[in-house]
Chains A and B, each alone.
Chain A
Amino acid sequence: MTTLNIVVCVKQVPDTAVERTLTPEGTLDRESPDGLINELDEYAIEEGLKIAEAHGGEVTILSMGPAKAADSVRKALSMGADKAVHVLDDGLAGSDALATSAALAAALTRVGFDLVILGSESTDARTGVVPAMLAERLGVPQLTLAATVEVSGAGVTIHRLTEDGYAVVTGSLPAVVSVVEKINEPRYPTFKGIMAAKKKPVRTLTLADLAVDTGAVGLAGAATGIADWAARPPRTAGVVVKDEGDGGSQVAGFLAERKFI
């Protein structure tokens, strides 16, 4: 097989350990909290690096996001990826899954790829539909929720995580694969990797570079919108069951009422 061109999509998300806030438009405030690589994307990076190490190949990081997303791109490079493409344009702010997939698909078409790997969802929006949308837009097979990935010949085979076990799914290359956290243990950036990342090429592409219509992305291109939002109500006190001989049936009744049993 010729050298695999692997592209891993990486999204910077707000740190889930700190309080997250919404802008007046109802979109997530990405400026104030620290940005981190979406956790599942670290598994995608690890899998991309492992496949490249096993089969020979090059790993390109593709990230769409504001200027500060460059930190996450740099971390992905320090883990061992070869180069990166940062899609950076103010017109992208407020993009929903459909708009995001439009911009990423344009970038992927421009960069070229044999295998696209993504985390199966992001910790901020949690729609989990971008991998499927990307595959559809690119006209390639989608192999989602992978707990294992094997590349051989011109094809890719995954174990797709299901509720009861896994399904074996095979597709031809090029393809889009999304991964779940069972798949591997992401490596730490090594010190040598951190130093080497400084010299790795990062290409910045704008919507104009990608010839993407500004009406197709950002808030303007979003097919979905936030109609209303509210903070989760504070947790209320639980029910204390006093066992005076009938504790068991009280607990069973409580669970039955909520259709747990």
Chain B
Amino acid sequence: MSSAPSARPRLDPHDPAGLDSLLSEEELAVRQTVRDFCADKILPHVASWYERGELPGVRELTRELGKIGLLGMHLTGYGCAGMSAVDYGLACLELEAADSGLRSLVSVQGSLAMFAIWKFGSQAHKSEWLPRMAAGEAIGCFGLTEPDAGSDPASMRTSASRDGSDWILSGRKMWITNGSIADIAVVWARTGDGVRGFVVPAGTPGFSAPEIKHKGSLRASVTAELVLDSVRLPGDAVLPEVTGLRGPLSCLNEARFGIFWGALGAARTCYETALEYAKTREQFGHPIAAYQLTQEKLANMAVELAKGQLLALHFGRLKDQGRLAPEHVSIAKLNSTREALEICRSARTVLGGNGISYEFPVMRHMANLESVLTYEGTPEMHTLVIGQALTGHSAFRG
């Protein structure tokens, strides 16, 4: 079908991939709700939260996120919204367009803590925790990474041993988003039978979660260490449905899906900021948008944003069809975070000195993405996962 000559298709600078035309009415409505929420409740405050390194009112904020349906939104039952993977991705993109810390809160709650319980928990775990977590009444965290076990979680030291019918947990976890504010932690530990997951209520004696300060990134996000000092748990605290690293790794795979969408949100904000700035900033008598070197930066940003969004949407559709492999997730996590960081860095240069000011969102997003680049799988690890999928050779396991 051809259209009239007067209706020549035009590129929308705010949607260089033409993504909107690929989304359903409901998907657009989901995105709009999250976008409106962020515009009203997050954007007026987030720069100051970030600068102060605080997330005041995080409990109330989490309840508001729950009210909309954002927490565990892609899970079904137990008060979860039961939305599609694409809906979840679009929501992550809008949240991270506001701040990566906000998206991290939602990722950890929904894709790590809730997903672990939803997928591997007992009926009692699910009934007790999921409805409250979906409503934002209870906050969850997820303990896998340790001070000396990052990319190689099999080397974890945290252990759980039997004492009668109870379990005794000892060890330390590091870089735990939501840790100090969590009501419940899903903690992974070595046992005689391999790695198992445990549901640890925050008030359990021996459990503490001191906050990690002095961060140069994700400052509008709560990050903690988990200290497990002979924490005694009842026998039914273990997640019954999984043994081995497959458990935590499948949770990470869920969260990475949200991350590769989310990083593009941070990139979009920086691209939009740079575009607007370049059109109004005048030097040598012209807006800097009129100069070739600036246009090259903006064009490269638009190209990578368009590619990243189309890949995210395609993988989202595959996930909804049950056809998304973990290696696909590695491709998109590697690409999105790497290119998003490059877009933010490039935007920083378009803004010149203003680029380093918290009056603009660019430096905040850029610094956030330094974390997003390496958490939940460094670029090196995702590269080697892809390499293994391509060649059949593992370059990181002996």
Contact = CB atoms under 8 A, between A and B. Distances in A.
Interface of A: 71, 74-75, 78, 187-192, 194-195, 197-198
Interface in B74-114: 81-83, 87
Contacts, number: 39
A71 B77 CA distance: 29
B313 interface: no
Contact of B81 (A71, A78, A191): A191
Nearest to A193: B69
B67 A191 contact: no
A194 B37 CA distance: 15
Nearest to A187: B67
Contacts of B30: 191, 194
Interface in B25-47: 25-26, 29-30, 33, 36-37
Nearest to A70: B25
A189 B33 contact: yes
A74 B26 CA distance: 10
Contacts of A194: 26, 29-30, 33
B69 A192 contact: yes
Given A74-B29, A75-B29, A191 B73 contact: yes
- Kindly list the 3 A-B residue pairs having the minimum CB-CB distance in the complex, ordered from nearest: A191-B69, A191-B81, A194-B29
Nearest to A189: B33
B36 A188 contact: yes
B25 A192 contact: no
A75 B81 CA distance: 18
Interface residues of B, number: 16
B25 A188 contact: no
Of A75, A187, A189, A197, chain B has the most CB atoms within 10 Å of the CB of A189
Nearest to A185: B40
B68 interface: yes
A75 B25 CA distance: 10
B57 to A, nearest CB: 16
Nearest to A190: B69
Of A78, A191, A198, chain B has the most CB atoms within 10 Å of the CB of A191
Given A188-B36, A188-B37, A74 B67 contact: no
Contacts of B33: 188-191, 194
B62 to A, nearest CB: 15
B82 to A, nearest CB: 8
B37 A191 contact: no
Interface string B142-176: 00000000000000000000000000000000000
25 contacts: A71-B25, A74-B25, A75-B29, A78-B29, A187-B67, A188-B36, A188-B37, A188-B68, A189-B33, A190-B33, A190-B67, A190-B68, A190-B69, A190-B81, A191-B68, A191-B69, A191-B70, A191-B81, A192-B81, A194-B26, A194-B29, A194-B30, A194-B33, A195-B82, A195-B83
